[in-house]
Amino acid sequence: MSAHENEEKMILDVNNLHASVEGSPILKGLNLSVKPGEVHAIMGPNGSGKSTFANVLAGREDYTVDSGSVSYSGLDLLDLDPEERACEGIFLAFQYPVSIPGISNAYFLRSALNAVRRYREESEVDAVDFLQLVREKMKLVGMDEKLLQRSVNDGFSGGEKKRNEILQMAVLDPKLAILDETDSGLDIDALRIVAEGVNALRGGDRAFIVVTHYQRLLDYIVPDHVHVLSEGQIVRSGDKTLAHELEREGYSWLESGHAREKTQEAS
Amino acid sequence: MSEAEELQKLADKEYEFGFVTDVESDSLPPGLDEDTIREIVRRKGEPDWLLEYRLKAFRHWQTMEDPAWAKVNKNVVNYQDLIYYSAPKPKKQLESLDEVDPELLETFEKLGISLEEQKRLSNVAVDAVFDSVSVATTFSDKLAELGIIFCSFSEAVKEHPELIRKYLGSVVPYTDNFYSALNSAVFSDGSFCYIPKGVACPMELSTYFRINAAGTGQFERTLIVADEGSTVSYLEGCTAPMRDENQLHAAVVELVALEEATIKYSTVQNWYPGDADGVGGIYNFVTKRGLCKGDRSKISWTQVETGSAITWKYPSCILQGDDSIGEFYSVALTNNFQQADTGTKMVHLGKRTKSTIISKGISAGKGQNTYRGLVDIKKGAEDARNFSQCDSMLLGDRCGAHTFPYVEVRNPSAKVEHEATTSKIGEDQIFYCNQRGISTEDAVSMIVNGFCKEVFSELPMEFAVEAQKLLAVSLEGSVG
């Protein structure tokens, strides 16, 4: 299949992406293609560029794209502001969800939903319809309704914050969801609940990029593809068994210079 | 559009209320001496006792120095260059709104205060003060049926001299400070309100202040007396045209709450703040003080200060009656080159008196924001309580926030709590909102509104909405 034909079916096509943070290069030629409905896991040691990649896709200001291209649903993603990307259906579940004191979770979420709907030239959702929608989605992620009236992430436990991210995802209904280290700071029960929420949202054309250091999340969110990121490049790709292999071997093999070799073997 | 461009566009937006109304005005020449005061009295047809009061205040003022202790940089005000009296013509006594100059009515329409509308529909009685004089008071007749007096200060001097003589200067004596002395000497109008015994005022009372003429100082006087067991909620709003000079606004507000009376006083202050380079803007040097004279009385100040080049004021409570309560809720926002030094004084005299202070300072651009407050528990204030919370938020890295909480306790049974925080509006917070589809502008205003929530919830409903909008406008162009 030629690259051109491939593009037609891709929701995301990342081509030779170079990006830096405060002048130091982090991503050094990253390539990745994601089709609608697929779940891709990006694994790799600390400092390999996983979170940078997630943030570059979402358009965070401190991350500078130096070269390369990212096409998303036929759009030049790098040309869009963060809020435009969000409105176009990109959702980033944050590693460290931010708190906004004094603003209720419900108000925040409705503002976000209506911003997205205005962008799509859809009518805004009134308070009654919103409440109905959000209640339904809260069941999906097993979240206590009391959290709706609390300030956004303010005084939430680690598990509540991550569940809140998944609730937002459920309400905003993205086409491409990026989970940045969603497992960090979660005990096993919280992890399971969050993963169940994500699994409930799988299906149809919605694609996922799951960024994680550990394999354990992938026991619950089983990926279609696993990629290993090292020093800003994807050095190895495979199916879900690759994650288990990494669990056994760790990332030390990356340093031994076999990385490139192994990628070639795999492809 | 990039974030920077968008913010630039917003920053270029002008002060919405900066227009000048083309009305003929009848002004005194600039300058201040005893003859100026005599002329004000003559034009207003005031009685001798008021002339005497003004002259005493003026003579005292001449012995005082322009104070310099506030944490603000200000230009020297030349008091001989100011115009002390300016009234829109014609200056005859108005019988109804129909007689008000249509240009003036249009001005208030532009400000969103339709006096015509107000008269018919809303449940707010308005007194509109244009430059030095009150141009229209709505609902006076309806209020009069309940015995409530709500009129311009000038009218009150004529119609209710016994009340004015009894209470004028009883809370803020002219000797209090430099600006209260000046105001006492030259004040030209303002609002007066009296709520009789046991009456709960059925509507919000509101005064809208507008400075129009160039080179004028505005010195209005507000006096509210709530008799035993009465309640009243009073709102005050202010705007001014854009001018390159610093115009002085030195008002005095006095509140008196007798036994079991409650006064709630809310201000949304949006005087012209000066331009983005710090040229022009109002000097808002106001003395506001309430006396909880009777037992179980309560005075609550809520202020949202977004305008003025310099805001310098401390709405305070003297808690004289036993079990009386004082409250102060404040949001002060400084953008560009604006400066604010504001806070409150809670003076506890009576037993079991309680005070609450919630202050939210927001600094953006090169704005400087200072909270200065005094909690003063006197010897006889058995079991007094105070809770103070002063939070500051910084937008950007060129602004400043300062907190000076003074506490003086002379009674060992007192319980005083103080909390203070300073936070920076995070790029993290803005990006988080952006990533959920919310624009930067909406994100900033959402985050700041969240920060101010405890204060906004104290405002009457419509005012709270106005305050939120005002905050959003004042913040435009503040991040980037």
Q: Which tokens hold the place of A262?
A: 């192994």
d(CA A250, CA A261): 17
Confidence at B119, pLDDT banded by 50, 70, 90:
very low
Q: Do B437 and A58 touch (CB under 8 A)?
A: no
Say whether pLDDT at A6 is over 80.
Answer: no
> What residues in B contact A116, CB-CB < 8 Å?
436-437
Mean pLDDT is lowest, of A84-98, B83-97, B335-349, for B83-97
Residues B398-434 pLDDT 10s? 888 888 999 999 999 999 999 988 888 878 899 999 9
d(CA B191, CA B137): 9
In a domain, A158, yes or no: no
Say whether pLDDT at B98 is over 90.
Answer: no
Q: Do B436 and A151 touch (CB under 8 A)?
A: no
In a domain, A236, yes or no: yes
User: What CA–CA distances, in Å, run from A215 to A48, A183, A192, A228, B36?
Assistant: 16, 10, 13, 12, 85
In a domain, B334, yes or no: yes
Instruction: Say which residue, B278 or A116, is predicted with more confidence.
Output: A116
d(CA B128, CA B117): 14
> What residues in A contact B360, CB-CB < 8 Å?
none
Confidence at B2, pLDDT banded by 50, 70, 90:
very low
- Best B427, B430, B432, B458 member to test A by mutation, with max A CBs in 10 Å, is B432
Nearest CB among B432, B440, B452 relative to A98 is that of B432
pLDDT for B413: 96
CA distance B468 to chain A (A): 13
Q: Do B449 and A102 touch (CB under 8 A)?
A: yes
pLDDT for A65: 96
Angle between helices A105-119 and B440-451 (to 10 degrees): 160
Alpha helices in A142-187 (DSSP H): 158-172
Buried b (16+ CB within 10 A) or exposed e, A32-52: bbbbeebbbbbbbbeebbbbb
> What residues in A contact B449, CB-CB < 8 Å?
102-103
User: What CA–CA distances, in Å, run from B368 to B71, B269, B302, B372, B390?
Assistant: 9, 17, 21, 13, 15
Residues 6+ apart with CB under 8 A from B350: B292, B295, B319, B320, B321, B322, B323, B324, B380, B381
Q: Do A168 and B436 touch (CB under 8 A)?
A: yes
Of these ranges, A72-76, B272-276, B304-308, the one predicted with the greatest mean pLDDT is: A72-76
In a domain, B448, yes or no: yes
User: How many CB atoms sit inside 10 A of residue A222's CB?
Assistant: 14
Residues 6+ apart with CB under 8 A from A78: A65, A69, A70
Residues A87-102 pLDDT 10s? 999 999 999 999 999 9
Confidence at A135, pLDDT banded by 50, 70, 90:
very high
Query: What mean pLDDT value characterizes chain B?
Result: 82
> What residues in A contact B454, CB-CB < 8 Å?
102
Nearest CB among A91, A98, A102 relative to B451 is that of A102
d(CA B312, CA B180): 13
Q: What is the ipTM of this complex?
A: 0.92
> What residues in B contact A92, CB-CB < 8 Å?
435
pLDDT for A142: 80
Q: Which domain holds residue B432?
A: 3-475
Q: Do A172 and B427 touch (CB under 8 A)?
A: no
Say whether pLDDT at B146 is over 80.
Answer: yes
Q: Which domain holds residue A202?
A: 3-97+174-266
d(CA B70, CA B433): 37
Residues of B with CB under 8 A from a CB of A: 1-3, 426-429, 431-440, 442, 446-447, 449-454
Residues of A with CB under 8 A from a CB of B: 58-62, 81-83, 85-87, 91-92, 94, 97-98, 100-103, 108-109, 111-113, 115-116, 119, 151, 168, 172
User: Can you give the CATH number for the domain in which A197 is found?
Assistant: 3.40.50.300
CA distance A244 to chain B (A): 32
Mean pLDDT is lowest, of B51-60, B95-104, B285-294, B393-402, for B95-104
Residues of chain A above pLDDT 90, percent? 64
Nearest CB among B3, B428, B439 relative to A98 is that of B428
CA distance A97 to chain B (A): 8
Contact B246, B213 (CB under 8 A): no
Q: What is the interface size between A and B, counted as CB pairs within 8 Å?
A: 81
Q: Which phi-psi region, left, alpha or beta, contains residue B343 (left: φ > 0; alpha: ψ -120 to 50)?
A: left
CA distance A83 to chain B (A): 4
Nearest CB among B2, B426, B437 relative to A112 is that of B437
CA distance B1 to chain A (A): 8
Q: Do A82 and B431 touch (CB under 8 A)?
A: yes
pLDDT for A79: 95
Find how far residue B263's CA is from the centre of its chain. Answer: 15
In a domain, B445, yes or no: yes
- Cis preceding-peptide flag for B90 (omega within 30 of 0): yes
pTM: 0.80
Residues A166-179 pLDDT 10s? 999 999 999 999 99
Q: Do A81 and B426 touch (CB under 8 A)?
A: no
pLDDT for B1: 40
User: How many CB atoms sit inside 10 A of residue B4's CB?
Assistant: 9
In a domain, B17, yes or no: yes
State the total domains in chain B. 1
In a domain, B480, yes or no: no
State the total domains in chain A. 1
